[in-house]
Amino acid sequence: MPIKLISSVKLSPLSLPRARLSVALAIAALSAACAVTPPATTVSPVTTAAPATLPGTTASAPAVVPPPRLVDSGIAPSNNDNSEYANFAQWKTVSSFIDEMVTKNGFTRSELEAVFNKTRFVESAIQLMKPGPPGKPKNWGVYRARFVEPVRINAGVKFWNTYADALARAEAQYGVPAEIIVGILGVETVFGRNTGNFRVMDAITTLAFDYPNTPTREARMAFFRKELENTLLFARESNIDPFSLLGSYAGAIGWPQFMPSSIRQYAVDFDGDGKIDLRKSPVDAIGSVAHYLQVHGWKRGEPIVFPATVSTDTSSENRWQAFIGQGLEAKFSLDELTAAGVVPTSSLASSAAGSKLFGLVDLQNGTAPTEHWLGTDNFFAITKYNRSFFYAMSVIDLGRAIRVARGG
């Protein structure tokens, strides 16, 4: 939710405000004129490079530039956001996190304590993270119907028509077809309609330090602590108040629902306005989705997925089952799969195979027969966006439905 905005993620405001800079320069000049050596400081400041000293002159003291600070615009939580004051700054685990952020990233303890004093506990984020009731069978048909439906298809046609040039440019630059980009934005947020109203600082902090009691609790808290670090770094780099970021209950942001780490690593300024804004710029969202998929293994011009069947002949001993659940990557040859009883139902699979590798995809259908597909590297690139076969297939099917509805 890798993550679906914001001001630039590339530029970090390291200079002082103009008024304070003038004062600093005046003090430096006065110190040089009086040949007074500035006192030593116990903090290692960021300094500008000292210019070369000309013969017969006295070197000026370098201007001291403190580390950038987080913006505080006084944003308060909504009265109906189901959050509550938690005094996070007093939690031992949060205090340790603050220590790490000060040492590793140059924040000051006072500014982070101020931030966590304003951060709220969101019980609904915890409830939404809890796994569903056990024993309920997965149902691909039901899942698909939530996303491949008239509202998303009609909105997708309008979106594609409006941003056809940007989609074509993204396809040319990154090799990702327009219908896949459109499919992801449609599944994630219905093209910007549902981007989430949780304050990202609140949701991610809650999950980072009080994740539900599940077998993966420690790993998930470590994940969200990393996302919390990236949230604070992103806000500082972008010169924005971290509490201005709104997103999903898991902290995903903007049209493509990028997590903060994904924004910092993969988001691009595709509209060329000098900043990355995944909340308000559909063009930045288009380019960022395409860039994300390219980095995660998308191969230009190659197929995505082929339908298949599996042999139920007892003589085959159902050897194909050994290819189920083998990770999110294409790593088996077509010969290996067919020898185990996996049969492509499209001649395109055989003709496109060559030296390509595939993964066996199973889409469980409740009490109905399971669908099987052969996924290529491009299919598994989509699963890096969301680690789910259901998700990847719904993106593919929605994108295709939108393309057909446009007459493409």
Q: Is 220 left (phi over 0), alpha (psi -120 to 50) or beta?
A: alpha
Higher pLDDT, 346 or 210: 210
Does residue 112 carry a pLDDT above 60?
A: yes
Quick one: average pLDDT of 333-339?
91
Q: Which residue has the tokens 């493409």?
A: 408
Would you place residue 60 in the very low, low, confident or very high pLDDT band (cuts 50, 70, 90)? low
- β-partners of residue 246 are 199
Distance CA(318)–CA(47), nearest Å, equals: 68
Query: What is the tens place of the pLDDT at every residue in 389-407?
Result: 999 999 999 999 999 999 9
54, 117, 115, 65: which is closest to 90 by C-alpha?
117
> What does the block give as tokens for 219?
């790993």
Contact 358/374 with Cβ under 8 angstroms?
yes
> What does the block give as tokens for 149?
């439906």
Would you place residue 202 in the very low, low, confident or very high pLDDT band (cuts 50, 70, 90)? very high
What sign does the dihedral 71-76-80-81 (CA atoms) show? positive
Contact 234/158 with Cβ under 8 angstroms?
no
Query: What is the tens place of the pLDDT at every residue in 71-93?
Result: 877 766 655 567 888 999 999 99
Please report, in angstroms and rounded to a whole number, the separation of the first and last CA atoms in the chain.
28
Q: What percent of the chain has pLDDT over 70?
A: 79
Give CA separation, 53 vs 61, 160, 202, 280, 319, in Å.
Answer: 11, 60, 51, 49, 78
Quick one: average pLDDT of 147-156?
98
Give CA separation, 211 vs 3, 82, 261, in Å.
Answer: 20, 17, 19
Distance CA(319)–CA(317), nearest Å, equals: 5
Does residue 32 carry a pLDDT above 50?
A: no
> What does the block give as tokens for 53?
């000293």
> What does the block give as tokens for 211?
């994740």
What sign does the dihedral 166-144-262-81 (CA atoms) show? positive
Stated length of the chain:
408
Question: In the predicted model, what is the mean pLDDT of the chain?
Answer: 85
Distance CA(89)–CA(170), nearest Å, equals: 43
Distance CA(205)–CA(66), nearest Å, equals: 27
Distance CA(231)–CA(174), nearest Å, equals: 27
Torsions phi, psi for 372 (to 5 deg):
-125, 145
Would you place residue 30 in the very low, low, confident or very high pLDDT band (cuts 50, 70, 90)? very low
Quick one: average pLDDT of 331-342?
92
Torsions phi, psi for 380 (to 5 deg):
-75, -20
Q: Is 44 helix (H, G, I), strand (E, B) or coil?
A: coil
Distance CA(401)–CA(397), nearest Å, equals: 6
Catalytic residue set: 188
264, 257, 272, 265: which is closest to 165 by C-alpha?
272
Does residue 56 carry a pLDDT above 70?
A: no
Does residue 257 carry a pLDDT above 60?
A: yes
According to DSSP, the β-strands at 305-310 and 342-344 are: antiparallel
pLDDT of 312 reads 75
pLDDT of 77 reads 67
- 8-17, 143-152, 187-196, 338-347: the lowest-pLDDT one: 8-17
